[in-house]
A and B are shown apart, each in its own frame.
Chain A
Amino acid sequence: GAGVSQSPSNKVTEKGKDVELRCDPISGHTALYWYRQRLGQGLEFLIYFQGNSAPDKSGLPSDRFSAERTGESVSTLTIQRTQQEDSAVYLCASSLNLATEQYFGPGTRLTVT
């Protein structure tokens, strides 16, 4: 079946603009996760959802970052007033539930100029 998809695959934006990143999880997966990987660095956890609820938002870097999930399906990660340090690959993953293996999407490469 279809895997996790993310859009756009690449996004270039000017500093100060808002961006929305989209994740479509595998159908039936109740858990969804967002991660960030800056160039040359390791993976950072941002937020996870169980259903449409986000029990742990502690990984969001600042209040400019927000995420929502609707219909236990698609999720959007919104970054307001983007800064150059927001440039990274944003990865989404989903799993059947919180205790099972995660399947990763291809990522969205965000470049803030």
Chain B
Amino acid sequence: KNEVEQSPQNLTAQEGEFITINCSYSVGISALHWLQQHPGGGIVSLFMLSSGKKKHGRLIATINIQEKHSSLHITASHPRDSAVYICAVSGGSNYKLTFGKGTLLTVNP
């Protein structure tokens, strides 16, 4: 069974700061997902990646397959980025997702 660990559990930042959220997993995977959950519950998929790096606007996701580690970066953070960020992985031919417990990000103006 894959264990997914996220850090930090909680993160408070000032508007404009560079944010990094980390995710590590214990078993080789086929894909890693970063999800965003706003207060009120809606979940949005931010990235799905299996290697390298992806960028979308102010968000950057990287993955190191050898180290079993991924990072989500937010540049020039804004209060609207306040949300729970969730890392999830799927492995091999099994597309079942295993989730981390999430990182609660609060960005203050």
Contact = CB atoms under 8 A, between A and B. Distances in A.
Interface residues of B, number: 21
B45 A99 contact: no
Contacts of A103: 45
Interface stretch (B64-72, B73-81, B97-105): B97-105
A106 B41 contact: yes
Interface residues of A, number: 25
Given A42-B101, A43-B99, A59-B96, A102 B86 contact: no
Contacts of B102: 42
Instruction: Please report whether the interface of chain A is mostly helix, strand, loop or mixed according to DSSP.
Output: strand
Contacts of A102: 33, 45, 48
Given A42-B100, A42-B102, A101-B48, A48 B42 contact: no
Contact of B99 (A42, A98, A106): A42
A99 to B, nearest CB: 7
Interface of B: 30-31, 33, 35, 41-45, 48, 86, 88, 94-102
Given A33-B97, A102-B33, A104-B44, 18 more contacts: A42-B86, A42-B101, A42-B102, A43-B88, A45-B96, A45-B98, A45-B99, A50-B95, A56-B94, A98-B95, A99-B30, A99-B31, A99-B95, A100-B48, A104-B35, A104-B42, A104-B45, A107-B41
